[in-house]
Structure 1
Amino acid sequence: MTLATVMYQNLGVANSVNTDYTALLMWPWVVKPLWSPLVDVLSTQRRWVVAMQAVIAAGLFAVGMAAPTENFLMLTMSGFWLLAIASATHDIAADGFYMASMPERDQAWFVGIRSSFYRLSMIVGSGALVALAGVLNKAAGFSISESWSAVFSGIGVLFVAFAAYHAFALPHPAVRRAVESRTARDVLVEFGRTFSTFFQKPGIGLALAYLLIYRFSEAQLVKMKPLFLLDPRDKGGLGLSNEQLGLLDGTIGVTLLTLGGIVGGIIVARDGLRRWFFPMALAINLPNAAYAWLAFTQPESIWPIATAIGIEQFGYGFGFAGYMLYMLQLSRGEHQTAHYALCTGFMALGMMIPMKYSGALQEWLGYEKFFLWVLAAIVPSLIITLLAPLREEPQEPTDEPTDLRERLAQLLMVRIGSNLPPILRVHEDEGRVVQLLGDCPVGGLLLFNGSWPETRETLQRLQSQCRHRLLVASDIERGAGQQVAGLTLFPHQRAFVDLEDSDDAIGDFCRTTASEAHAAGIDVTFGPVADVNSDPRNPIIATRAFGRDPQRAAELVAAYVRACETEGLMTTAKHFPGHGDTHQDSHDATPRVEASAEELRQRELVPFQAAIDAGVSLLMTAH
């Protein structure tokens, strides 16, 4: 879109028309979530990547052919619309391919490399190609329209080569299930589930507001920045040439933007997103003041211009790193490819609307007052950053306990909240726990009787006061709503047994539970129930177990454990082998198991062994 904006400025298109037309090219990125599930289910992400690169090549050739014509605006916009649709689809497929082709650990390792190549493409696109158009115009004797025609046609040739190379070089992820067996009903059902699961995420309203508003000020600056730098001084601009713009903003600026992103990623990896969330909002917004200074002073020297661009771009990169990490955090779980596309769609909408009207606003206000308005537009961004919900992610302790007393305390977990008299909500019990932590730095909390969102806020305050991160566990075998009112409460485990798609249903249950538990600040669930309901008289196991068949119970326990652990929620196999073969309530009496050791091994131990094999984090040893 930067190339389109600069080309139209070079060809004499008014700023208001320029921003109005080119901002609308973000529409495919806004609405791409409508077809992102189809990318997931109609073909492989690998095929989509290669096909869209070929379509992008065709769009580039179309723009190149139309640029020198008399009706260039409408004809080139047709080519740009083809590019916008193809690039948005390519983005969906590339994100999904990235997540499907490598394990999560490798994804984290390659994220910096991926981001660096993205920034390199920005340097080439907004730096080298802009400068090349200027060089062809001034040094090679091309008209400005012929220069842009050569630039776009040359990129088209490059994308033909990309498509051919990737058709042979890209790996074939084994995790992609065959698409030939999927019916139209399967597509529609998965399409609906994609949207419903996204909009059921905890705190989704404020999260979407954050995605829409965070870049409100920056969007207007980004759109008008190249026009301001290129416009002649008598119109309030700085009168730079294409070559100077390509060097200062497209090369030096993007390099510092990349550096800011790298620094932001390193700091967040070290300290966590929560600590740097608001400072990153300041970083992306406050440097916008540099452009207000440029508009008022219009310096002749290139050095203050380069300095202002560098400061703004470094802050942009640093602040945008937090925004990207927030989107990744929000999209985790089932349908992560489509959910990330939804996030980027809301991001694009939040950019498109202020961009669209920025040109008309600048023509009305002039550059000086326009950049003052850009500074005033920072306020909504800062407010929504303070309100946006953040997922609590486990972090390693900053240092190890130093003395025996502290080491022993770290082995203890204490209650917060109570379902028994005196009944207390989690936030009502905060004062007692704060006092206790001051006397004895325990290692974790057992959470009872919480409420949303007060529980999340209480745990955040407690975590911020602790030298070592508290491990928070809760009895949420039926979902986070079992102990945090306002979140989802599911039926007992027995309800899943007879479903045709019981494994998928358990997967959905675990993903929802894990997502809500993370949002609330819970690390460990006391589930699944791995007991076999051998004695129907048992008053406490009953429908909480996966039935009387030990093999079927083992299958479902393993599915439960794998799904939760995959989502980062630690599980606990409970209560103990043979509890389901008793008729006492272990809350009130000590059950006695009469079965022989062989019977325990063949029946009662089977689901517990399956839980261990599936990677369960904890085993309950007493009740």
Structure 2
Amino acid sequence: MTQPRSPVASPIRWVPTLYFVQGMQFFVVMLIAGLMFKNMGVANDQIARWTGLLGLAWAIKPLWSPFLELARSKKLIVVAMQFTGSAGLALMALALQLPMWFAASIAVLFVLAYASATHDIACDGLYMASLDARQQAAYAGWQGAFFNASKFLTLGGLLVLAGQLERSMGVMNAWSVIFALLAVLLALLAAYNAYALPGTLNTGHAELTAASVLRTLREVIADFLRKPGIWLMVLFIVLFRFAEGQVQTIGPLFLIEARDKGGLGLSTEQVGGVYGTVGTAAFLVGSILGGYFTSWLSLRRAMPILIIAMAVPNVTFYYLSLTLPQDMFHVGAAIAVEMLGYGFGFVGMILYIMQVVAPGKFQTAHYALGSGVMQLGFIFSKTISGDIQLAMGYQSFFLWTIVCGAPALLLLFLVKIPAPGAATPVEPGAPEPVATN
């Protein structure tokens, strides 16, 4: 029996910091690490391969998420993972000073990735356990806003600061300072969350045992695999992200690559400025417009346009690789177009999983599994992107990514999407999924 929610402070006191931390840990591992390694002279294939493997943490987290229900307090898990993340960031600062700095930093990033993925599970569970349906909807905007605010901090503020420090103290020392600052910031946020997060978060599953959770997990997976047309759905999800994973990995590296090697030769500070400001803003605008567009037209009719929108980043980077512009206004405008198309099109995959893959007896769990498949597709394309780029060069690579978007559009003729207004079965009593990454 679920314990009644006790009166707690207004969610505005803890939802922003909770989801700011969630985003900060994710973006440090999945975005900042690759740009840092590029400035340290690591080859594109190594960057893509290792950062791709790091992303597995978020892809396979549904496999251990049910076992977190055995813990009596989600708050305890959240705060513990935040302090673990802080310690990991401090270790990262030290790892960059070691002779075997690359191997050491990858090892630390693996710890950070799995701590962050575990934090995500408990974080979303805490949000749903602490708030009723009306409050969940009311604070969803704050949740998304502060998750993306962390992207402004990491891609904007931190990269700009890193670029300035690199000129004065060298690349290694600069990034050690960055990770030390992040460790302090996360420790302060963890301490605040230990105080501010709701405390009565026992979800009331006292009857749960590891064996019963394992049985339920097996049933959830078996029911997922019995869905009509599930393998076609999985293929569509993987192909939808096949081009995206490649261009989103190599695109930022191309911006930093020296001009004599086919890149734009931008500084860390310039990349941080353009992605952290106009890029992030364009992504948010694109996401909002994509949501309204799909709501107006229905997912079935909107999906071809959404898939085409996902090709905008590929075309944009192909254009940049051909023209190699030198003025930042030109580059900034191109990045704005790239991120606008990316945000607009990506809505299609989120809604496809919600409306086509997830509905059924275990809607929430199947949404998590669908999201895991989506992340696996991204990781697969991300992992191989560096080898392909080194073999083809930047121009041919970005042209290749445009071609990679075609199979998803062709497969759309075989994929079944419910007609507007069609009833979709929902897991009895299940809350709506809270998805931020």
Band of TM-score, shorter chain: 0.7 to 0.9
In structure 1, the residue matched to 2:59 is 30
Correspondence 1:295 to 2:321: yes
Report if aligned partners of 1:327, 1:343 keep a CA contact under 8 Å in 2: yes
> Where do 1:534-549 residues align within 5 Å?
none
Report if aligned partners of 1:92, 1:341 keep a CA contact under 8 Å in 2: no
Instruction: Give the direction of change, closer, same or farther, for the CA distance of 1:340–1:567 in structure 2 (3 Å limit).
Output: closer
CA shift at 1:91, angstroms? 1.9
Matched AA of 1:191: L
- Provide the rounded CA distance (Å) in 1 between the counterparts of 2:417 and 2:133: 20
- Provide the rounded CA distance (Å) in 2 between the counterparts of 1:372 and 1:283: 16
In structure 1, the residue matched to 2:74 is 45
Q: Deviations over 1:506-525 (max 9, x none)?
A: xxxxxxxx63xx8xxxxxxx
CA RMSD in angstroms comes to: 2.5
Correspondence 1:155 to 2:182: yes
Could you tell me the TM-score, scaled by structure 2's length? 0.85
Aligned length: 402
Could you tell me the TM-score, scaled by structure 1's length? 0.60
- Provide the rounded CA distance (Å) in 1 between the counterparts of 2:239 and 2:115: 26
Correspondence 1:212 to 2:238: yes
> Where do 1:228-247 residues align within 5 Å?
228-247=254-273
> Where do 1:381-530 residues align within 5 Å?
381-391=408-418, 394=421, 515=425
Report if aligned partners of 2:73, 2:201 keep a CA contact under 8 Å in 1: no
CA shift at 1:386, angstroms? 4.2
| Alignment counterpart, residue 153 of structure 2, candidates 119, 124, 131 | 124
In structure 2, the residue matched to 1:506 is none
Report if aligned partners of 2:256, 2:271 keep a CA contact under 8 Å in 1: yes
| Alignment counterpart, residue 316 of structure 1, candidates 342, 348, 356 | 342
- Provide the rounded CA distance (Å) in 2 between the counterparts of 1:358 and 1:229: 16
- Provide the rounded CA distance (Å) in 2 between the counterparts of 1:51 and 1:334: 32
CA shift at 1:227, angstroms? 0.8
Correspondence 1:166 to 2:189: no
CA shift at 1:184, angstroms? 3.2
Report if aligned partners of 1:6, 1:227 keep a CA contact under 8 Å in 2: yes
| Alignment counterpart, residue 95 of structure 2, candidates 66, 73, 83 | 66
Moved more, 224-233 or 84-93: 84-93
CA shift at 1:371, angstroms? 0.7
In structure 2, the residue matched to 1:306 is 332
- Provide the rounded CA distance (Å) in 1 between the counterparts of 2:407 and 2:413: 10
User: Which one has the largest radius of gyration?
Assistant: 1
Instruction: Give the direction of change, closer, same or farther, for the CA distance of 1:266–1:114 in structure 2 (3 Å limit).
Output: farther
In structure 1, the residue matched to 2:119 is 90
- Provide the rounded CA distance (Å) in 2 between the counterparts of 1:111 and 1:209: 30
* Partner SS, residue 239 of structure 1: coil
Correspondence 1:17 to 2:27: no
- Provide the rounded CA distance (Å) in 2 between the counterparts of 1:72 and 1:112: 40
CA shift at 1:88, angstroms? 1.3
In structure 2, the residue matched to 1:221 is 247
In structure 2, the residue matched to 1:7 is 36
Identity %: 37
Report if aligned partners of 1:101, 1:172 keep a CA contact under 8 Å in 2: no
- Provide the rounded CA distance (Å) in 2 between the counterparts of 1:55 and 1:84: 11
| Alignment counterpart, residue 311 of structure 2, candidates 272, 279, 285 | 285
CA shift at 1:318, angstroms? 0.9
CA shift at 1:567, angstroms? 9.5
- Provide the rounded CA distance (Å) in 1 between the counterparts of 2:127 and 2:367: 12
Matched AA of 1:345: G
Runs of 5+ consecutive residues of structure 2 not aligned to the other structure: 1-29, 433-437
Report if aligned partners of 1:217, 1:381 keep a CA contact under 8 Å in 2: no
* Partner SS, residue 88 of structure 1: helix
In structure 2, the residue matched to 1:201 is 227
Instruction: Give the direction of change, closer, same or farther, for the CA distance of 1:44–1:282 in structure 2 (3 Å limit).
Output: farther
* Partner SS, residue 48 of structure 1: helix
In structure 2, the residue matched to 1:100 is 129
CA shift at 1:256, angstroms? 0.6
Matched AA of 2:117: A
- Provide the rounded CA distance (Å) in 2 between the counterparts of 1:50 and 1:336: 28
Report if aligned partners of 1:281, 1:385 keep a CA contact under 8 Å in 2: no
Correspondence 1:114 to 2:143: yes
Q: Deviations over 1:280-331 (max 9, x none)?
A: 1111223421111110111122222111111010010111122222333333
> Where do 1:557-568 residues align within 5 Å?
none
CA shift at 1:383, angstroms? 2.5
Q: Deviations over 1:437-483 (max 9, x none)?
A: xxxxxxxxxxxxxxxxxxxxxxx7xxxxxxxxxxx8xxxxxxxxxxx
In structure 1, the residue matched to 2:391 is 364
Higher helix share: 2
| Alignment counterpart, residue 108 of structure 2, candidates 69, 76, 79 | 79
In structure 1, the residue matched to 2:24 is none
> Where do 1:372-383 residues align within 5 Å?
372-383=399-410
- Provide the rounded CA distance (Å) in 2 between the counterparts of 1:389 and 1:567: 25
CA shift at 1:336, angstroms? 4.8
CA shift at 1:352, angstroms? 1.0
Instruction: Give the direction of change, closer, same or farther, for the CA distance of 1:92–1:566 in structure 2 (3 Å limit).
Output: closer
In structure 2, the residue matched to 1:528 is none
Report if aligned partners of 1:36, 1:341 keep a CA contact under 8 Å in 2: no
CA shift at 1:213, angstroms? 1.6
In structure 1, the residue matched to 2:18 is none
In structure 1, the residue matched to 2:211 is 185
Report if aligned partners of 2:290, 2:344 keep a CA contact under 8 Å in 1: yes
CA shift at 1:35, angstroms? 0.8
- Provide the rounded CA distance (Å) in 2 between the counterparts of 1:82 and 1:119: 23
Instruction: Give the direction of change, closer, same or farther, for the CA distance of 1:565–1:171 in structure 2 (3 Å limit).
Output: closer
CA shift at 1:211, angstroms? 2.2
CA shift at 1:203, angstroms? 3.5
Correspondence 1:340 to 2:367: yes
Instruction: Give the direction of change, closer, same or farther, for the CA distance of 1:74–1:261 in structure 2 (3 Å limit).
Output: same
Q: Deviations over 1:506-558 (max 9, x none)?
A: xxxxxxxx63xx8xxxxxxxxxxxxxxxxxxxxxxxxxxxxxxxxxxxxxxxx
> Where do 1:265-276 residues align within 5 Å?
265-276=291-302
Instruction: Give the direction of change, closer, same or farther, for the CA distance of 1:163–1:565 in structure 2 (3 Å limit).
Output: closer
Instruction: Give the direction of change, closer, same or farther, for the CA distance of 1:244–1:269 in structure 2 (3 Å limit).
Output: same
Report if aligned partners of 2:67, 2:210 keep a CA contact under 8 Å in 1: no
Report if aligned partners of 1:37, 1:194 keep a CA contact under 8 Å in 2: no
Matched AA of 1:196: A
- Provide the rounded CA distance (Å) in 2 between the counterparts of 1:284 and 1:198: 27
Matched AA of 2:185: L
Q: Deviations over 1:56-112 (max 9, x none)?
A: 112111111111222110010011000111111122222333333334454344433
Instruction: Give the direction of change, closer, same or farther, for the CA distance of 1:48–1:336 in structure 2 (3 Å limit).
Output: farther
CA shift at 1:266, angstroms? 2.8
* Partner SS, residue 12 of structure 1: coil
Q: Deviations over 1:233-265 (max 9, x none)?
A: 000000000110001123211111011112222
